[in-house]
Amino acid sequence: MVNWFSTRSNEQAIADVTALFREHFGQDTPGNTGPGRSSAEPAGVWSAPGRVNLIGEHVDYAGGICLPFALSQRTYVAAALNHDGVYRVVSQFGAENTQAEIMHEEIAMDQVCPGYPDNWVGYVVGTVWAAGLEVPGLDIAIVSDVPVGAGLSSSAALECSVALAAADLAAGLAADPASDLTETSTDRTALMHAAIRAENEVVGASTGGLDQRIALFAEPGHALAIDFATDSTHQVPFQIADRGLAVLITNTNAPHSLADGQYASRRAVVDGVTADLGVDSLRYADNAEAESARWAEANTPEGVDAAAWQAVVGKRVRHIVSEISRTAEAIKQLQAGDMAGFGESMQASHASLRDDYEVSVAQLDVSVDVAMQHGALGARMTGGGFGGSSIALLPSEKVELAAEAIARAFAEAGFAEPEFAVALPGAGARREA
C-alpha cells in the first residue's frame, strides 16, 4: 500500500484556514471581547508553496546556482490586525482527515528579537519583525499541506505566506488617511530578505535563501534558475508532462533538522575557505580543493587528526565547485530538451552529496537506488539532507511501480513508512481571498 500525500484543493484549504481563524479569534470566542481583538472574519487569506530543488544543493550560500520549482502543496494563512501589541498565532499542520496537531502561541511584539522565539513560531513573528512592518498586532491562523521535516521547505512556505499577509495588512493601514503610519513596501525582494533574516537570526537556522526566493517568485510550469553570485534569476520551462515524464517525491520520514549543527558546520567550512582564498565564491577560485588545505591546517578542530580533517575539507570544497558547474550544465540540458543528460546530472549530484558533502542517509540512498532500478532517468536527495526527501524523474507510467518498490524496500529495511507525491510546478506566494 502506497501512502500518498493528502493535498487539499485550493478552495478547501481556504475554507479550512478561515474556519480555524474563526474558531480561535472570532468575536464569539471566549475572551475575545475587547476592542483590540480582530473581527469574526480574517482580513484575507494568503498562501505560499513548498519547493523541490531539482539540482544545485548546498550551494545557495556559496554563490552557487540552484534550480528549484514550487510545489502544488502550500501553506495557507488567514490573518487580521489586532490593536493589542501582540502576535496571536494558531497553526494546524497536517492534511485534512488526518490527526493534525494544533499549536497556539501568543507573543508580545516587543519581545521578538534575534534568538527569540527560536521555535516554530519564530518563523512567523520573526519574519514580520525582520521586515520592519508597522502593524499594531496580528491574529494569524495557519494550515499547511507542506510536510514538516520532509526537506520540502515548510519553513519558507510559512515565512513567505505570513510575510505577504503582514505586508498587505500594513500597506492597507498606511493607505488609511487617518493613519500616522508611513506606507509600507510590499516589494517581494524585501520580503524575501526578511524571511531569510528571520530564519537565520531569530530561529537560528543557517540557510541561504533558495527556499524563500522560489516561494515568492515561482511561476507555474517553470523551474527558477537562481545564480546567487550575480543575484539573478530566470525562468526555465519545466513542462515535463508534455514529455510523458513526472517527478516522484519520496518523503523518507527520516529525522530531518537544519538547526542541529550539521548544516551550520558545513557552511562554516565553505565560508572559511572562501574568505581565506579571497573570492566571492569558490566557483571563482583556481584549484579551490587543493588550496583549501591551508585553511584546513589553520582550523583543525581540537582532537581531530589533521590529515583526516584536511581530507574532509577538500571533499566539502569539491562538492561545492562540482555542484555549481553541474547545475549550470543541467540548466543547458533542460533548455535543450536533453532529459537523459539531465537525469545523469541528477545522479552525479546525489553521489556528490552522499560521498563528498556527506548529507545523505540510508533512507535517501535506498529511495534513489530503487527509483533508478525502476526506470528513473535520474534521482537524487533534495533539500538540506540528513533525512527529508528524494526526487526521481520518471516516465509517468512508471511512477506507481517505482513508489510501490520504494515502499517495499523501506519495509524490508525496517525504515519508517515513506510518503509520496507527484510534483507539479506551481505558483509562488499569492493572496487567495
| Residues identified as active-site | 211
Contact 250, 390 (CB under 8 A): yes
CA distance 51 to 73: 8
- Rounded to 5°, the CA angle 292-298-303 comes to 110
Q: What CA–CA distances, in Å, run from 191 to 130, 160, 217, 416?
A: 9, 7, 11, 37
CA distance 13 to 17: 6
Phi, psi of 113 (to 5 degrees): -165, 175
DSSP structural state of residue 76: E
CA distance 3 to 146: 15
Please state whether 11 falls in left (phi above 0), alpha (psi between -120 and 50) or beta.
alpha
CA distance 353 to 368: 12
Contact 289, 332 (CB under 8 A): no
CA atoms within 13 A on the CB side of 27: 4
Residue 13 cell numbers, joined:
484549504
CA distance 427 to 216: 9
Residue 272 cell numbers, joined:
572559511
CA distance 281 to 204: 23
CA atoms within 13 A on the CB side of 136: 15
Phi, psi of 248 (to 5 degrees): -95, 125
